[in-house]
Amino acid sequence: MPLLKGLTADLEAAYQFLQQQDNVIGDKIGSIGFCLGGRVSFLANSVLPMVAAISYYGGGIDQLIDEAPNLHGAHLFYWGGLDLHITSDKIEVVNALKNAGKDYTNVVISHADHGFNWHACVNCRKMEATVWPNKSVFPVFRDSYVLIQLYTDDKTELEKAAQYSSSFSHKDITSMGSLNSDIEASRFNSNSQPFYVLLNPHTEGILVPPLGADYDPGSYLFYLKSGLNEY
């Protein structure tokens, strides 16, 4: 898998860099990741001598189940019990760790959806703090787009008449957060945060393929302009 090899190479390079820093304790390095980063954190713990690692709702960890016997440090998992994509059958890695005799802690928050740390989402806040205010990006937001933000961890309860059972996940949708998560999952087949979608306001059709976190202002600006070109 080219992607897996690339990620492994990046992790090894980052680890070697940290080892060379005077202010880093070489045998006390750990990892933490959210969503895709949770998967990368699991991979890091399997290919590098992490002292400990944390994965928040790590999508795709089930595809790395063969790495379970290779884990070095204790691993802490956080999952959302209402997650529309990472369902219980995709958390089988925990059983693999148990069978391998590895040290782990598994936490499932029953009332939480995917991205329950959304308001504290590191990638989201970084985009808003470093990319959106860019002198080239901000005018496009201000003058050419209507910005709507949907939070998947909004606990506001829906009115009883608005609650329903999702045809996508077959779970009960009872809060604003679960509603927003269901929209993202059922319509865009994604549960990533951040997840940017440019829509035609008249047809609600997708103008260009959605985008995740992109910390390069020039690249993000190109994405916004590509949407305008298709409008």
Instruction: Spell out the domains of the chain, with CATH numbers in brackets.
Output: 2-109 (3.40.50.1820), 121-230 (3.40.30.10)
- Tokens representing 73? 């440090």
The residue among 112, 109, 106, 76 whose CA lies nearest residue 91 is 106
The letter for the amino acid at 218 is G
**CA 122 to each of CA 62, 73, 109, 115, 193: distance values in angstroms, whole numbers, following the listed order:** 23, 24, 20, 11, 10
Query: Which helix (H) or strand (E) segment is 36 a member of?
Result: helix 36-47
Please report how the helices 137-144 and 217-230 are oriented relative to each other, as an axis angle in degrees rounded to 10.
Answer: 30
For residues 65 and 102, is the Cβ–Cβ distance under 8 A? no
Query: Which helix (H) or strand (E) segment is 107 a member of?
Result: strand 104-109
d(CA 93, CA 33): 16
User: Exposure of 105 by Cβ count < 10 A (0-12 exposed, 13-18 middle, 19+ buried)?
Assistant: exposed
Q: Could you list the pLDDT tens digit for every one of the 231 residues in the chain?
A: 566 888 899 999 999 999 999 989 989 999 998 888 899 999 999 999 999 999 988 888 988 999 999 999 999 999 988 887 788 888 888 889 999 999 999 998 887 777 776 665 678 878 887 899 899 999 998 889 988 888 887 778 899 999 999 999 898 999 888 898 899 999 998 878 889 999 999 999 999 999 998 999 999 999 999 999 999
Please report how the helices 2-19 and 36-47 are oriented relative to each other, as an axis angle in degrees rounded to 10.
Answer: 70
Q: Find the length of the chain.
A: 231
The residue among 79, 76, 78 whose CA lies nearest residue 104 is 76
Three-state DSSP class for residue 52: strand
d(CA 63, CA 61): 5
